[in-house]
Chain A
């Protein structure tokens, strides 16, 4: 158990809909990262938050957004869903205090999104 929790585990929805994925980082971790895992694209970085502020963006679509709340949990919002958005979405957390990437990212169990 990494200490990172994600809900829900599974999500099935229809094209055009909007969903919200939730992540609670390990106790004390300030950084949260979101990744997408799909068969064709592999594991891709989406977005990072540090202590409530957006820190970096990866290959995140404009239809996707995220935020980190004062209690440090994070939510990933996916809207106008398309079939191709079906994937496993992971959240990872790290201490984030070194500022130089030496800390370890610990991953949650993921949310499997299926868009029908």
Chain B
């Protein structure tokens, strides 16, 4: 199976609504979980990350939650805006050094 699974693959929300993207991972030793945003034709850029000693982290409209027991973590975007439209990737460091990404979620925020 995949090391990092991400759902949903596409997500459409109306401006102002919340969006939630979920990821699960397989390696219980993973200790760092970043989220990247990729706009069309551009490089992935880190938007938020969380380490295994923290359960939740928030940065303005973006938050990430981590459940180490269940091996899943989620990205929450509140008060979505059209400029939030992009592809979002979760990732987890496996075995300490390799980095595995989820397959991505294409988020569309409609005005």
The answer to whether A binds B is no
